[in-house]
Structure 1
Amino acid sequence: MKFYKYQGTGNDFVMIDNRLGEWDDLSNETIQKLCDRRFGIGADGLIKINTAQGVDFEVDYYNSDGSKSFCGNGARCSVAFAHFLRIIEDKTTFSAIDGLHEAEINNGIVKLKMGDVASISKDGDSYVLNTGSPHFIQYVDDVSNYDVYRNGNKIRNSDTYRKDGINVNFVQVISEKELFVRTYERGVEDETYSCGTGVTAAALTFMQNNNQTSVGIKVKGGRLKVYAEKEGEGFRNIWLEGPANQVFEGEINIKSLTF
């Protein structure tokens, strides 16, 4: 299998050009091993770029456990990959599990249009919303020293969220223009260096409370920016912006993976 490795603010992905359908039947077990950091390539997720009618391409995303979802940073890396493959130039429309998306790429910076968010729910002093994937947002005072794994795992596996899972984000307000976000991701079942849908969710809760249309986001793997317009109880015209880079390319013998 020919593969490429991409990362977007430390959120890393195995990328496969599957436009000929050669890898349509990858099993969950194979995806898990390809994403394994000791026995495979190592990644937070695997993405197949497929052909699709009416759009430039399809983003077929899998978490490292083989489950499917939408991934904001994965989608941004997919745009960079599609640009590398010369499927697109600087603008694109593509499909993903949550519907259609627009995106732009300029000098390695990818700006991705997210789906509209109709409403944001309160859960005690925290927030719950869906930005393509479900997210739980909790504000804390010192996120740098916060036990993200233990507390994120506890919320994700609570009675409320155990069945369908939820991504758990811990957010610190750095200033009126910047947040620091750390995320425990379902499907990876660990903290990742960045989560695109998670920083978008965090940004929207902040914008809702502070009447802003943009906010910078610090994550363990770098910086992102979110733009949005308030509409009723939710938001529209939501954009996630940040770098997406190819790290390396290679080949791997699927049969050599140990199970």
Structure 2
Amino acid sequence: MPITVNGVELCDDEIEQELPMHQDGDQPLHRAVVTRILRRVLLDEAQRLGMDVSDEELAISRLLQEHAGSPEPDDAACRRFYDANPVRFTVGACVEADHILFQVTPSVNLEALRLQAEDVLARALQEPERFAEFARAYSNCPSAAVGGSLGQLSRGETVPEFERVVFSVPAGTVHPKLVHSRHGLHIVRVARSEPGRLQPYEAVAGDIAQVLGAMARDHAWRQYAKVLVARAQIDGVDLGDDAEADRLMGVAQGL
């Protein structure tokens, strides 16, 4: 069944042109189709408003700027963001950490792995001086060869779910719970922790304004696209949650 947008069929050439942009994600064909639909909906709206659409990127940019604008953040909003996110504006924070990794693989028995990890954790809490010994015996990470040592870690160097925990563990202690990450189950010990230095508000106010402005624009664009998609006549495809315009950033890339 052909895909049509406001009575105009989406041709194969358009989709083939878009497809390379989505090869690194899930369902690249569906993403390409949704992106082309959103582009067509935006261009149809620009044309309806009397805009020149000969340059598609320029037309979409003008449409979004003129009809999906958002207010610039004021100083009060920037200060609230600063106060609510001190970690984001702290520089120099680092930890020296060790871990024991119980890696999750497609064939692993998850319950058996969890029970083993819990047993080793209990032993590490009772005998922390044997942590390196336990790491060499049980860890599935190359760091096992050096007693589980990960060396010095700064923020941004590990996956977020691991980082959140490792930067909260008091120095000189083993974390009392297993840490779940995309790699598996971890037992974590922090040897040393440096809290870093909070940058003054004045030094980061400009960056905060840019971040909040981008967030506001993103929200406004998504809401605007949702309205246009809901109003458009789209046949031959089920957009589902994609109607929330998750692909709008792809459509407007570089604008």
Q: Taking structure 1 as the reference length, what is the TM-score of the superposition?
A: 0.21
Higher helix share: 2
The one of the two structures with greater contact order (alpha-carbon pairs below 8 A, sep at least 6) is 2
Q: Taking structure 2 as the reference length, what is the TM-score of the superposition?
A: 0.22
* Structure whose alpha-carbon radius of gyration is higher: 2
